[in-house]
Chain A
Amino acid sequence: EIVMTQSPATLSVSPGERATLSCRASQGVSSNLAWYQQKPGQAPRLLIYDASTRATGIPARFSGSGSGTEFTLTMSSLQSEDSAVYYCQQYNNWLTFGGGTKVDIK
């Protein structure tokens, strides 16, 4: 099983700032990586797929990068509505999720 490790576990940033989230795979997953956003009480929402392609309707301030074992989700000009837990997921070999990064905007 491919283990996905996300860091940091929590992140507190001010509105308008930039946040960088990391996701590391225990073995290479090529670019078969997605990022999801989950707000409290809601279902996850797809943000990024194929490591760097934004899903439909996702603003350009969300960007993904990386390949192989190291991936990054960068969120710029953060707004209060971006407070959520962010998960990475690999789909190169079965499916596994990272443990999530909780982002607080305050």
Chain B
Amino acid sequence: EVQLLESGGGLVQPGESLRLSCAASGFTFSSYAMTWVRQAPGKGLEWVSTISGSGGSAYYADSVKGRFTFSRDNSKNTLFLQMNSLRAEDTAVYYCAKTYYDTLGYMDVWGKGTTVTVSS
């Protein structure tokens, strides 16, 4: 069974950093791009970042470019989202998702999400 399990969320103050992780299982991890999507409280879905299967290419939404870094460890089937200079508007549930192809695309498997709250 394909599974994704996010962790690392929590409460931080504006300007601080946080690193999210996502552990994957049940598929050939390195063959697929992976994506982070977030959802602010009571709001819709927002694409954050996608990384290629090899980890050699990463793409970012303008809202997080320069502050967030998406990486992966294919030997451990794990994703990392390093979030720096956090702002109140980064408060959201962060979902990791498997992309159907090894590129930007649609997401066929989603984790349950981890909550990030940025507040003083």
Chain A contact residues, CB within 8 Å of chain B: 1, 32, 34, 36, 38, 42-46, 49, 55-56, 85, 87, 89, 91, 94-100
Contact = CB atoms under 8 A, between A and B. Distances in A.
Interface in B53-67: 59, 62
Chain A at the B interface: SS class: loop
A46 B106 CA distance: 8
B105 interface: yes
A56 B105 CA distance: 17
Given A43-B111, A43-B112, A97 B46 contact: yes
Measured as residues with beta carbon below 8 angstroms from the partner, the interface class of chain B is: 20 to 34
Contacts of A42: 112
A32 B112 CA distance: 25
Contacts of A91: 104-106
B95 A46 contact: no
B32 interface: no
Contact of B44 (A1, A49, A95, A98): A98
Contacts of B108: 46, 49, 55-56
Interface in B25-66: 35, 37, 44-47, 50, 59, 62
Nearest to B4: A43
Given A38-B45, A44-B107, 17 more contacts: A1-B62, A34-B106, A42-B112, A43-B110, A43-B111, A43-B112, A44-B110, A46-B108, A87-B44, A91-B104, A91-B105, A95-B35, A95-B47, A95-B50, A95-B104, A97-B46, A98-B44
A96 B89 CA distance: 18
B108 to A, nearest CB: 5
